Structure 1
Amino acid sequence: MNFNTLLINEKKPVCKKITATYQLDNGVLGGPVESEFSYKIENSTKVNINIEQLGIRKIVITTEKEVSTGILFSLCQSIEKLLMLFEGRFVPLEYMCFSDSDEFTDDNLIEAGTWYKDKRLGCYESSDFSMYNCNKIISYNEVINEKLLKDWIELDKELDLASNVIFYALSKNFATVDIKCIFSIELAEAFIDLIKERKGLFSSLKPGNRGTTLKMCLDMLITKYGNLIFEEEIRSKKDFLQMFVRSRNRMMHIKRHQGDNYLDGAESILYTIKFFNLYRIIIFETLGIDEGFYLDNLKLSIAKWNEWEEVLEKFLNRID
């Protein structure tokens, strides 16, 4: 019986192990680096997670008893998303396989691995501009553990669609760069809500209600979390926030003859990255990751992006 027949019969294979291998299309990953820790999934089933890297990356998850391939696949993707926040990119998945089952054949498990790999969402394929090494600000082996992964999975669920938007904004297949940037700007309201619920800050803001504008949300987030990321923009004393709002309005309220007071293509790339940095810093703080693990690398990354193709300088020069 092949895997598709098993799905039709609503009988997903169960096993004790998933192995996923990742490799850059161009270049190799550093190493040797390795992290290993225990974790608990449904019904308190204990699993062992090993993430090793030397040229390529391998994630191996083993369980003490057989569980659904879907559960193992979901856990593996949660790890991938957390690593992406550290590194600013998804490393391409080269191969995925399941193994160690008393009930299902090796052929069933191989087919299952291929099926899950082929069904992955487009957000797991990172855009070219997100593949730059400077986007990496945390080495996973320095911070990842059982508690961090558990807290991330809970936060990922809480963020819901907003989490997907973060990853799609840096993906290869989602949309043109201007649309990606607009969605990144729009995420400010979701993060205001998150911070209100988690920390009790920004109580005067009510995103979606009359009296709370997108510009107010952007201003509050950047003032609290983004002074380093938007340091040059703030120093310029230009109304760069209004340019973000105009760009959002241009897409959300389509009209003719809107002029050029909005982000162009290169600027959209720059600010997609900057907003990604803003949101991942908020996520890191929410997860309790000390800034000592990433602050120096973040400064270097921001400096490189601020110098990229003179985009920032030209942007500030053309703001009213």
Structure 2
Amino acid sequence: MKFTITQKPENGILGGPKNKTILICSNTGSYTITIDQYGGSRQISIISPQEGITKAFLSIYYDLETLLMLLDGQFYPVTHVFEDGVDITLSWKRRTLPSYHSADFMLGAQNVLVDFNEVLEPQLLFDWSNLRNELDLIHKVVLYCLSSVEMPKDMQCTFMTEIFEGLSELVHEKKPEFILPKIKKGDSKLQNYLLEIIPAFGTLIFEREMQCNLEAFTQILVNSRNRIAHVKSKQKRTYLRDGQNLIYLMKMSLFYRTILFQLLEIPEGLYKQKLTLRVQAINDHKVTQEFLKQLSECIDK
């Protein structure tokens, strides 16, 4: 069986030519995966002795597709899908989840952190498959937060913030040297976890926030989460407003991706320069500058 899917950005082209072929062997069979990027589009083909699109076959594809999204920061729109030469594009698009359509703020070459051609190997795909299973709902929620699903940005930012509680616990399991704090009665577990995981893994992304007031910053994130998740009425506490939600959706998406890169042992040298440029562009935004000024004034906690 041969399965081929072609992707292309709606407003832009993909760089190339790039080509990568890997062989995946599992208890369900063997799969030859080839990614060809040329002419502005990307073609992914999977060849297997198995007949028909089985559950195992689709699992291989979606492991690959979600791994590529981590590297690229976005899903590229599907233009054509063929199964053994038969066009199944329409049926494929009908069953594609809304979370596989990226939000406009995730689109563009500036959000690509790692070139798939440099890192894609069978072991990485295997490790990602296992990690994805362990992340479970965490990763599913992240995909919806970064998708084009029509949802208020403050809600998306709330759920994106919330995932760092579970992610912190998973990081601790994977990296015991990362020690979670003991939570005193009445203290916010989410804030205490953020106060640990940001200095441990997010100094480049949140350097400015750390310089201004990390405790106040994490309290604002928690206030924003509480306001939405607990359906609070108007409060005096400070929370993210208007464009600030979008700014921190973008920053936390970078934070989430780079934490996973470290868990997958992708060398920092492959993405640090691109990450630095992306963070700088976000920090230069007027909304970010105004928020950081407010933060440096030690606003209420």
Distance 1:236 1:211, change over 3 A: closer
Q: 1:28 aligns with which of 13, 28, 33?
A: 13
Q: Is the 8 A contact 1:18 1:73 kept in 2?
A: no
1:90–1:125 contact (8 Å) kept in structure 2: yes
Determine the C-alpha separation between the residues in 2 that align with 1:209 and 1:140: 45
For residues 255-311 of structure 1, the C-alpha deviation after alignment (integer angstroms, 9 at most, x for no partner) is 322247211231111111111111111111111111111111111111111112x11
SS in 2 for 1:57: strand
Partner of 1:199: 175
CA distance in 2, matches of 1:118, 1:205: 45
Instruction: Map Cα deviations across residues 43-96 of structure 1 (whole Å, 9 max, x no partner).
Output: 3x1111001111001100001332534433332222111111111111111121
Q: 1:301 aligns with which of 278, 282, 289?
A: 278
Residue 8 of structure 1: aligned partner: none
Give unpaired runs (5+ residues) of structure 1.
1-15, 101-105
Task: Report what 1:287 is aligned to.
Answer: 264
- The alpha-carbon distance between structure 1 residues 85 and 204, as it changes in their structure 2 partners (threshold 3 A), is closer
Residue 19 of structure 1 pairs with residue 16 of structure 2? no
Give unmatched runs, 5+ long, in structure 2: none
Identity %: 33
Query: Separation in 2 of the partners of 1:23 and 1:304?
Result: 25
TM-score (structure 2 length as normaliser): 0.91
| Paired position in structure 1 for 2:191 | 215
Q: Which one of 140, 149, 166 corresponds to residue 190 of structure 1?
A: 166
Match of 1:52 in 2: 36
What per-residue deviation string (whole Å, max 9, x for no partner) do you get for residues 87-122 of structure 1? 11111111212117xxxxx5xxx45x5323311111
- The 1:206–1:156 alpha-carbon spacing in structure 2 relative to 1, beyond 3 Å, is farther
- Counterpart AA for 1:65: Q
Deviates more, 1:200-209 or 1:288-297: 200-209
Q: Secondary structure at the match of 2:15?
A: strand
1:270 aligns with 2:255: no
SS at match of 2:50: strand
**2:200 aligned residue:** 224
Question: What letter corresponds to residue 275 of structure 2 in structure 1?
Answer: L
User: Offset of 1:21 from its aligned partner?
Assistant: 0.5
Q: Specify the SS of the correspondent of 1:29.
A: coil
Instruction: Name the structure 2 match of 1:258.
Output: 235
Partner-residue secondary structure (3-state), 2:83: strand
1:88-237 equivalence runs, <5 A: 88-99=73-84, 106=86, 110-111=87-88, 114-173=90-149, 175-205=151-181, 213-237=189-213
Cα separation, 1, equivalents of 2:142 and 2:79: 23
Q: Which has the larger radius of gyration?
A: 1
Aligned-pair CA distance for 1:203:
4.2
Change (3 A) 1:315 1:166: same
Partner in structure 2 of residue 40 of structure 1: 25
What letter is aligned with 1:230?
F
Per-residue deviation, 1:223? 0.8
Asked if structure 2 preserves the Cα contact closer than 8 Å seen for 1:87 and 1:135, the reply is: yes
* Contact in 2 for aligned 1:37/1:50 (Cα 8 Å): yes
Which AA in structure 2 matches 1:199? Answer: K
The count of corresponding residues between Structure 1 and Structure 2 is: 294
How has the CA–CA distance of structure 1 residues 283 and 63 changed in structure 2, closer, same or farther, with 3 Å as cutoff? same
* Deviation (angstroms), 1:31: 0.7
Give, in whole Å, the separation in 1 of the partners of 2:188 and 2:245: 24
> In structure 2, the residue corresponding to 1:50 is in which secondary structure?
strand
RMSD: 2.1
Distance 1:123 1:194, change over 3 A: same
Paired position in structure 2 for 1:7:
none
Q: Specify which of 281, 292, 301 is matched with residue 316 of structure 1.
A: 292
Match in the other structure for 1:65: 50
Which amino acid in structure 1 is aligned with residue 238 of structure 2?
Answer: N
Q: Which amino acid aligns with 2:16?
A: G
Compute the displacement of 1:208 (Å).
12
